[in-house]
Amino acid sequence: MTAHETTYKIAGGNVGVMLMHGLCGTPAEMRFVAHSLARRGYTVHCPQLAGHGGTSDDVKHTTWQDWYASAEAALVEMRKTCDTVIVGGLSTGAVLALMLAARRPRDVQGTVLFAPTLWLNGWLIPWRARLFNLVHSKWVANLIQFPDIEPHGIKDDRIRQFIRDALFSGDSTIAGTPVTPGGAVLEHRRLVNAVKKLLNSIEQPTLIIHPREDDYADLDNAWYLQRNLRGMVDTCVLDDSYHIVTIDRQRHVVVDRTVTFVGQVVEAHKDRAPKTTPLRPKAPSAHRVA
């Protein structure tokens, strides 16, 4: 199977929100949040990252620079019609959003991070997975696979069954691939290492939404970012969701907090826009009447 394009683009006003999916995921992860934002008049773009939308082999042969390049291209396209852009993402997509904010500060006015993943240290991750940190060769890494296992990042039973069926249906455009190649996990680590060096330069306001019971990325991922980002950080901790917060039980909370944050960024951006002082009308000239 070759990669299939599943990018979501919804035209709206001159405020844009760009949302990126997670590692070996698809833009469908962002669909609920994207349509909720679009109904409020925002332009929304959920790009498909390089190598995704096909098989595990497609992802295996990409680098984090490839993922970033596809994210940056989507941002450049959005800036053609949007004066204000907020970028965000789920898991690895959140890390890419931070990279965009650091490298293109004039083009990014805020970031929204859904379950940002710097370390795979959630309660589902076995202790032996830490041994993978000793792997530094892409060739060796690709000999290792990380299967997507129960509960698949979803706490809601009904949604989990849907995701499970999609994962093993052979159609990777809905729920991504059921196996993550070790090479992709290694590239994620390299991306994180690059982003961590830039965190204290990111001044844009940030919203972090992270579940307390995250099965993939412990809550300390959020606390680390809150301590190290330079700009204002608003953190929301969910108490009834697992990793994929954008479609799990508290997705409506995710939407409400995101909508509020985007509105705040828009207002703040308006306040910082240069204001022109209207010219005073000239006083009428005095004319002598004969």
Q: What is the pLDDT of residues 157-210, one digit of tens each?
A: 999 898 888 777 766 566 667 789 999 999 999 999 999 999 999 999 999 999
- Residues 6 or more apart whose CB falls under 8 angstroms from that of 206 comprise 110, 111, 112, 113, 225, 229, 231, 232, 233, 234
Using the predicted structure, report yes or no on whether residue 273 has a pLDDT greater than 80.
no
Which candidate, 181, 174, 156, places its Cα nearest to that of 23? 181
Q: Which residue has the tokens 């455009």?
A: 173
Q: Where are the domains of the chain?
A: 8-272
The strand pairing partners of 45, in sequence order, are: 9, 18
Looking at the chain, which runs of residues are DSSP E strands? 8-10, 15-20, 43-46, 84-90, 110-114, 145-147, 179-181, 206-211, 233-238
**Mean pLDDT along residues 81-99:** 97
Class of domain 8-272: alpha beta
**Mean pLDDT along residues 269-284:** 53
Q: What is the pLDDT of residues 228-250, one digit of tens each?
A: 999 999 999 999 999 999 999 99
Q: Which of 28-37, 180-189, 237-246, 262-271 has the lowest mean pLDDT?
A: 262-271
Q: What is the pLDDT of residues 102-135, one digit of tens each?
A: 999 999 999 999 999 999 999 999 887 889 999 9
Task: Report the pLDDT value the prediction gives residue 285, as an integer from 0 to 100.
Answer: 41
- pLDDT bracket for residue 3 (50, 70, 90): very low
Q: How many residues does the chain have?
A: 290
**Mean pLDDT along residues 144-167:** 87
Question: Is pLDDT larger for residue 289 or for residue 21?
Answer: 21
Q: What is the pLDDT of residues 47-73, one digit of tens each?
A: 999 888 777 788 888 999 999 999 999
Q: Would you tell me how many other CB atoms lie within 10 Å of the CB of residue 214? A: 27
Phi and psi, residue 157, nearest 5°: -60, -45
Using the predicted structure, report yes or no on whether residue 46 has a pLDDT greater than 70.
yes
**Mean pLDDT along residues 77-103:** 97
248-259 in b/e burial notation, b at 16+ Cβ within 10 A? bbbbebbbebbb
> Which pTM was predicted?
0.89
Task: Report the pLDDT value the prediction gives residue 174, as an integer from 0 to 100.
Answer: 67
Q: Would you tell me how many other CB atoms lie within 10 Å of the CB of residue 159? A: 16
CA distances from 101 to 33, 81, 147, 158, 166 (A): 20, 18, 31, 36, 33
